[in-house]
Homo-oligomer: A and B are copies of this chain.
Amino acid sequence: MKSYVRLRFASVVAIVAGLALSTQAIPQTDPLPSWNDGAAKKAISEFVRATTDKTSARFVPPEERIATFDQDGTLWVEHPLYTQVVYCLDRVPAVVKATRDLANVEPFRTVLSGDRKAIAKLSTDDLLKILEATLTGMSVDEFKAEAKNWLKTARDPRWHRHYTELTYIPMLELLKYLRANAYRTYIVTGGGQDFVRVYSEEIYGIPPEQVVGTASGTKYGYDQNGKPFLTKEPKLLLNDNNAGKPEGIHLMIGRRPYAGFGNSTGDRQMLEYTKAGDGERLTMLVLHDDANREYAYGPALGLPNTKVGTFTQALYDEAKKQAWVVISMKSDWNRIFAFEK
């Protein structure tokens, strides 16, 4: 190739590249259409801008871009009972059938009675017994198949929707927006890691390896054909609540997040840990203040405690002091669910 040809070729490449760039830049659509303009939406956009702009002093290299999300109450509905607890209660008859002697033992007897009021009054210790009996003792693959199957059929008591439809559209937009900006999005949940992994990829686009949750141990063994399998054991490895959240983040991710999202006292330490890092950090709390479209609960609203994650006055005070952003479902979100018209 003679040099003038090379020059012409180079300028054609430059023109084509320039055209491609300018075409991409024109349709500037809002990545967060379900968010109303306000402090919450602005905090998100400003955080993304500052940490992804190479000329910014607060630029974060892509490999360090980690965002962690609580699940229940932050990405989907947690009221009146955590979905996983409903799953465990629904599993009780099958477990009792397999282990006959449980039928007359509390708390299983109460669950079998079907008495909703009595079930609602079960203590945390009772619920833990039910969780252990229904979430362990089977192989990892059996558990996965059962949970998957349940999610296909079970429906929530208020909207009569599959639980996987009760995800918050604004948070799905936020997950996508962060991922489009090279953030890896993790779930860090007090719920069971294996349970959340069953659906996280499909409904949130979060793969199993990016789900950190309360985890029990497994035990490696062989079936009668010598084929290896893992059994879920009643041995708690990680209680991924409160201080367990930053501990779980260190165990499973090994990096401090740049952004953390929660909705209750169980997320406090995760947000503290996120915010304590150098540079720009985004920490946000979802406040359930919309009884009409979703639910309103928690002491910060002057309402009583519930069985699910609690937004206390102390959490509200810490949020203010530490400049965490409180998301009001009522005023910050113009749409909550995909099934709303």
Q: Which residues of A contact B (CB under 8 A)?
A: 12-13, 16, 63, 66, 140, 184, 193-194, 197, 201, 207-209, 211, 215, 217-220, 227-230, 237-238, 243, 246-247, 250-255, 269, 272-273, 276
Number of copies of this protein chain within its complex: 2
Contact pick for A228, options B13, B208, B229, B246, CB 8 Å? B246
When distances are taken between beta carbons in the complex, the residues of chain B under 8 Å from A255 are 207-209
Q: A229 vs B277: C-alpha distance in the bound complex, in angstroms?
A: 10
Contact pick for A269, options B209, B228, B246, B250, CB 8 Å? B228
Closest 3 CB pairs of A and B: A208-B254, A220-B243, A209-B253
Closest-CB distance, A175 to chain B (whole angstroms): 16
Q: Mind listing 12 A-B residue pairs with CB under 8 Å? A: A12-B16, A197-B254, A207-B255, A209-B252, A215-B251, A218-B247, A219-B243, A220-B246, A220-B247, A230-B246, A230-B247, A237-B251
Residue of B nearest to A201 (CB): B63
Closest-CB distance, A203 to chain B (whole angstroms): 15
Residue of B nearest to A227 (CB): B276
Contact yes or no, B272 A228, CB < 8 A: yes
When distances are taken between beta carbons in the complex, the residues of chain B under 8 Å from A243 are 219-220
Residue of B nearest to A246 (CB): B220
When distances are taken between beta carbons in the complex, the residues of chain B under 8 Å from A13 are 16
Q: A208 vs B208: C-alpha distance in the bound complex, in angstroms?
A: 17
Contact yes or no, A211 B276, CB < 8 A: no
Contact yes or no, B254 A209, CB < 8 A: yes
Closest-CB distance, A200 to chain B (whole angstroms): 10
Closest-CB distance, A38 to chain B (whole angstroms): 29
Residue of B nearest to A230 (CB): B250
When distances are taken between beta carbons in the complex, the residues of chain B under 8 Å from A66 are 209
Contact pick for A194, options B207, B211, B254, CB 8 Å? B254
When distances are taken between beta carbons in the complex, the residues of chain B under 8 Å from A272 are 228
Q: A230 vs B254: C-alpha distance in the bound complex, in angstroms?
A: 11
Q: A215 vs B211: C-alpha distance in the bound complex, in angstroms?
A: 18
Contact pick for A218, options B208, B209, B228, B251, CB 8 Å? B251
Residue of B nearest to A197 (CB): B254
Contact pick for A238, options B207, B211, B237, CB 8 Å? B237
Contact yes or no, A193 B246, CB < 8 A: no
When distances are taken between beta carbons in the complex, the residues of chain B under 8 Å from A250 are 140, 218, 230
Closest-CB distance, A61 to chain B (whole angstroms): 11
When distances are taken between beta carbons in the complex, the residues of chain B under 8 Å from A211 are 254
Q: A207 vs B64: C-alpha distance in the bound complex, in angstroms?
A: 9
Q: A215 vs B237: C-alpha distance in the bound complex, in angstroms?
A: 11
